[in-house]
Amino acid sequence: MTQNEVTVETEESSPLRTFREFFALQRDVLVLSLAMFAFSLAFQMTNRFLPEYLVALGASGFVVGLFGTVGNVISAVYPYPGGAISDRIGSRYSLTLFGLVSTLGFVVWLVAPALGAVSLAGVTVPAWLWIFVGLLLAQAWKSFGLGATFAVVKQATDPSRLAAGFASTETFRRTAFLVGPVLAAVLIGLHSDFTVSFQYVLAVAVAFGVVGTVAQHVLYDASEDTIGTSFAGLEQVRADLREMPSELRPLLVGDTLVRFANGMVYVFFVLVVTQFYEAGFQTAVSLAGTTYAVDLSPEAFFGYLLGVEMLIALLVMAPAAKAAEYVGLKPVVAVGFAVYAVFPVVLIGGPAALSPVLTTSGALILIFAFSGLRFAGLPSHKALIVGPAEQGAGGRVTGTYYLLRNTIVIPSAALGGSLWEFVSPEVAFTIAAAIGVVGTGYFLAFGKEFEAYV
């Protein structure tokens, strides 16, 4: 192999080269990626701070938990009707509609303190209830629009490059996962009253929602939109369940088991760091002859661990999508499932196993970097979901898939919480890992490859 060939091969396999190739994809995928960045930034700026906002408006801890449960139900219920609407009126108009509704949700959150408690038919409605109303609206683009986003990538991308198309949208979205919380932290620091400073965050979120909605409506080319049949109510749901492409069924079973396992322990990751290990981070940094002490609390350290996880995710998604074009979608998806499956036991037992060579903090950094590898299979996973769908039905197939998966996963956190509270964290995480391994094994045994990648 010549030196030039080595250089070309190295460049072709680099993440930067793959990222540049995103811009060779269809314009609609790039427009969708930009809109996804705007809305993901708005969500990541707001959602992680909403529990504190609820408490500031007078909600109890139980209400905060109820808020999370309502969010899970929305994630399960919204995708199917959203996909049906997308297939019926086209991706451009459905995404515009969902964008407007989501932006309205951010507005409701913004004005909730001003609306305050109201009296309806002699019953006082507390101020925090407006946050629930806003949630029903704000989730529209993210959950209602799920099927439409899948359909846009499917109709605008060559079948053999579906994973690359989804890697484009995911890279933009996950970048927002890094930027959003940091930007929110800066804005929150502008005022000592959290309610006021968080309204700054919400105002910026509204602006991003408006920009995302306008951009996708103006820049998106609707000439190739495919329109499916009208929605026929519950009978349509039953028909779509029966007619789901057979290739999706083993993927759905394996994915549901893996996601159920992850759902059992996901909300407890922060507690493992802050309570189970009580792991902070201390070091000293020398700059221009002056030494500065860095002393992170466990809560702050957890935020940086999430940053490490997302950085690894951004680095691996594009190369993994490129690799799928050579090895197929199934192996790449299986790698992501496997990381999901084993991460609970790695997190709960890894620091002790690594204690001879690493501190607890060092081990956790390594473990969360490992967790970032689970995102490697995400673009290929999405391609495997929508790939077998007929043209004009991509949104509905996606909605059906997520309706089933997310509905089954709803009680997972309650089960994990019961085991955590009444048995032990180790048992909760071990059972979760076992369920995840079963799901991964099922997919490896029965999962089917999308023919465009064979």
Dump pLDDT digits (tens) for 125-184: 788 899 999 989 988 766 644 554 555 555 555 565 555 555 555 666 667 777 777 777
My answer on whether 165 and 289 are in the same domain is no
Is residue 276 one of the residues assigned to a domain?
A: yes
- In terms of residue numbers, what domain contains 336? 242-454
DSSP-derived letter for residue 78 is S
Handedness of CA 27, 14, 381, 136 (dihedral sign): negative
Residues 6 or more apart in contact with residue 55 via CB below 8 angstroms:
64
Q: Residue 426's pLDDT is what?
A: 93
For the segment 272-295, the average pLDDT, to the nearest whole number, is 76
| Of residues 94, 128, 333, the one with CA closest to residue 217 | 94
In this predicted structure, the answer to whether residue 4 has a pLDDT above a threshold of 50 is: no
Q: Residue 57's pLDDT is what?
A: 85
My answer on whether 202 and 258 are in the same domain is no
For the segment 245-268, the average pLDDT, to the nearest whole number, is 85
φ, ψ (nearest 5 deg) of residue 290: -115, 135
Cα 307 from Cα 106, distance rounded (Å): 25
Cα 130 from Cα 108, distance rounded (Å): 7
For the segment 114-127, the average pLDDT, to the nearest whole number, is 76
Q: Residue 438's pLDDT is what?
A: 97
My answer on whether 199 and 260 are in the same domain is no
Q: What is the dihedral of CA 378, 379, 385, 386, to 10 degrees?
A: 160
In this predicted structure, the answer to whether residue 393 has a pLDDT above a threshold of 60 is: no
Q: Residue 22's pLDDT is what?
A: 46
Q: Which of 79-93, 372-386, 388-402 has the highest mean pLDDT?
A: 372-386
In this predicted structure, the answer to whether residue 442 has a pLDDT above a threshold of 80 is: yes
Q: Residue 417's pLDDT is what?
A: 78
Is residue 294 one of the residues assigned to a domain?
A: yes
Is residue 226 one of the residues assigned to a domain?
A: no
Read off the pLDDT band of 273 (50, 70, 90). Answer: confident
Least confident of 66-75, 271-280, 308-317: 66-75
My answer on whether 453 and 337 are in the same domain is yes
Read off the pLDDT band of 342 (50, 70, 90). Answer: very high
In this predicted structure, the answer to whether residue 203 has a pLDDT above a threshold of 90 is: yes
Is residue 232 one of the residues assigned to a domain?
A: no
Residue, of 387 and 10, whose pLDDT is higher: 387
Which alpha helices (DSSP H) does 266-328 contain, by range?
A: 269-271, 298-327
| Of residues 432, 442, 403, the one with CA closest to residue 77 | 403
My answer on whether 216 and 288 are in the same domain is no
In this predicted structure, the answer to whether residue 23 has a pLDDT above a threshold of 50 is: no
Least confident of 110-124, 306-320, 427-441: 110-124
My answer on whether 216 and 254 are in the same domain is no
In this predicted structure, the answer to whether residue 116 has a pLDDT above a threshold of 60 is: yes
Q: Which residues of 320-341 are buried (b: 16+ CB within 10 A; e: fewer)?
A: bbbbbbeebbbbbbbbbbbbbb
My answer on whether 260 and 122 are in the same domain is no
Q: Which of 161-165, 183-187, 328-332, 416-420 has the highest mean pLDDT?
A: 328-332
| Of residues 318, 308, 320, the one with CA closest to residue 369 | 308
Q: Residue 7's pLDDT is what?
A: 41
For the segment 412-437, the average pLDDT, to the nearest whole number, is 88
How many CB atoms are closer than 10 A to CB 287? Answer: 7
In this predicted structure, the answer to whether residue 6 has a pLDDT above a threshold of 90 is: no
The CATH number that applies at residue 146 is 1.20.1250.20
Residue, of 44 and 238, whose pLDDT is higher: 44
Q: Residue 243's pLDDT is what?
A: 66
My answer on whether 206 and 300 are in the same domain is no
In this predicted structure, the answer to whether residue 445 has a pLDDT above a threshold of 80 is: yes
Q: Residue 8's pLDDT is what?
A: 40
Is residue 352 one of the residues assigned to a domain?
A: yes
My answer on whether 135 and 246 are in the same domain is no
Least confident of 53-57, 112-116, 118-122, 199-203: 118-122
Residues 6 or more apart in contact with residue 110 via CB below 8 angstroms:
199, 202, 203, 206
Q: Residue 369's pLDDT is what?
A: 94
Is residue 5 one of the residues assigned to a domain?
A: no
Residue, of 226 and 54, whose pLDDT is higher: 54
Q: Percentage of the chain surpassing pLDDT 70?
A: 67
Is residue 71 one of the residues assigned to a domain?
A: yes
Read off the pLDDT band of 82 (50, 70, 90). Answer: low
My answer on whether 215 and 263 are in the same domain is no
Average pLDDT score, the chain? 75
Q: Which of 81-95, 147-161, 218-232, 438-452 has the highest mean pLDDT?
A: 438-452
Least confident of 97-101, 217-221, 317-321: 217-221
In this predicted structure, the answer to whether residue 315 has a pLDDT above a threshold of 50 is: yes
Is residue 1 one of the residues assigned to a domain?
A: no
My answer on whether 381 and 436 are in the same domain is yes
Q: What is the pTM of this model?
A: 0.66
For the segment 431-440, the average pLDDT, to the nearest whole number, is 96
In this predicted structure, the answer to whether residue 286 has a pLDDT above a threshold of 90 is: no
My answer on whether 28 and 90 are in the same domain is yes
User: What is the domain count for the chain?
Assistant: 2
Distances (CA, A) of 453 to 26, 249, 392, 414: 19, 18, 21, 39
